[in-house]
Structure 1
């Protein structure tokens, strides 16, 4: 029996992968390079979701050295992005992600990825994790002039997949407020995973459905479809 949604757009960090350990490790290399003290993973988890430039701004502010302007941000950002791209430690997939995505693809669902992480790092991670063949379209935070929470970021992914953004058979799956806002901007329903980096109570995100386990997504989509028709 086919799923009620023909096209799904996924967030990456906090939805498919637990990237906070990666970001903390790499970010602390950059902070050390610029003679700043390290941050804890708990601190970094509160900074995930707005893109790499905002991440380094928040990190420097948290260590008592706010970056004054874009000129100050750029060398720090370059160091962080290069260090992240060169990082060889594997990211951690959340339980059930690979199997569930493969099952969705096998059932004919078109999958896209919409993340505020830079595209070159995103594609490297997808390849390393064996997920790249499952996604028909990928948009990083620097792929377009806009990024989440702008709905055009999601709309572009839908268009690349050949989906009509106005179709009732498209949905977004994410974990934080940027995902919910972007889905709303694109005019599609949204599922929030409770285990990610929401920065507020997940029940307050305003998602159409909240799930605790990624493996529950197919059944959750069935329930969601019944409420949004």
Structure 2
């Protein structure tokens, strides 16, 4: 029996990154003199990587971007975000304790995020959390990204896991859809950046605090999902 693999989204799931994302995004779009965005705007902007976040923010503020404007803005964002990390970013309450429980029970852990892989790795390293993860993949790791199943399946492969023993945890529709597309159970958390109540996303389970994330819960979800007639056997 292969060990269970728990795959986490990053922004809004593992880490509360909202302050630093807003600051770097506002620094970026200030190049056009547009009005800054707020935390309330963030739920409509994140989830598809920095490039899309910048495009959406500029569009929201009435400055649609042309293709040739994007590269410089993306570089501006990456430079500011990298130079200031980890900034105010921190793990959500109970996360480290939950990861300790899982790894002590023999579970593998991984990250599957649409954030650029380099930014994700740097952030995890600066927060001294790298030791927990068997794989970290980003929106530029593969030719596809969430919610495409191959992003999650590729992450599972890099972590040395199997889809039949995997659970995906996230805060947004992309996370729940990638789990569904890959044929694995999902857990939704409500403290991230979803623009709709996470209870409406169709996750296998919703937890409200990482105190609820236990090896027993992971095993239960994997077993229950495997027993479904339509469950994947990857």
Tell me the TM-score normalised to structure 1 length.
0.92
Matches within 5 A, 1:142-221: 142-165=140-163, 167=164, 169-218=165-214, 219-221=216-218
- C-alpha root-mean-square deviation of aligned residues, in Å? 1.7
- SS of the aligned residue for 1:171 comes to strand
Match of 2:83 in 1: 86
Is residue 120 from structure 1 mapped to residue 118 from structure 2 by the alignment? yes
State which of 102, 113, 132 in structure 2 corresponds to 1:134: 132
Indicate if the aligned counterparts of 2:16 and 2:91 stay in contact, CA closer than 8 A.
yes
Q: Report the Cα distance in structure 2 between the residues aligned to 1:172 and 1:84, rounded to whole angstroms.
A: 26
Q: Report the Cα distance in structure 1 between the residues aligned to 2:45 and 2:220, rounded to whole angstroms.
A: 32
Q: Tell me how many residue pairs correspond in the alignment.
A: 224
Indicate if the aligned counterparts of 1:48 and 1:197 stay in contact, CA closer than 8 A.
yes
Indicate if the aligned counterparts of 1:16 and 1:97 stay in contact, CA closer than 8 A.
yes
Indicate if the aligned counterparts of 1:90 and 1:128 stay in contact, CA closer than 8 A.
no
- SS of the aligned residue for 1:195 comes to coil
Which range moves more in the overlay, 203-212 or 71-80?
Answer: 71-80
Aligned-pair distance for 1:59? 0.6
Runs of 4 or more, structure 1, over 6 Å off, are none
Aligned-pair distance for 1:43? 0.9
- SS of the aligned residue for 2:109 comes to strand
Q: Report the Cα distance in structure 2 between the residues aligned to 1:148 and 1:225, rounded to whole angstroms.
A: 21
Aligned-pair distance for 1:5? 6.4
Q: Report the Cα distance in structure 2 between the residues aligned to 1:211 and 1:132, rounded to whole angstroms.
A: 24
Aligned-pair distance for 1:215? 1.7
Q: Report the Cα distance in structure 2 between the residues aligned to 1:121 and 1:91, rounded to whole angstroms.
A: 13
Match of 1:75 in 2: 72
Query: Could you say if the C-alpha distance between residues 112 and 178 of structure 1 is closer, same or farther in structure 2, counting changes exceeding 3 Å?
Result: same
Aligned-pair distance for 1:76? 1.0
- SS of the aligned residue for 1:149 comes to coil
List alignment gaps of at least 5 residues for structure 2. 228-234
Aligned-pair distance for 1:220? 3.5
Aligned-pair distance for 1:20? 1.4
Alignment deviations for residues 84-135 of structure 1 (CA, whole Å, 9 cap, x no partner): 1111414121101111112211211011100011111111110121211100
- SS of the aligned residue for 2:96 comes to helix
- SS of the aligned residue for 2:145 comes to coil
- SS of the aligned residue for 1:39 comes to coil
- SS of the aligned residue for 1:98 comes to helix
- SS of the aligned residue for 2:213 comes to helix
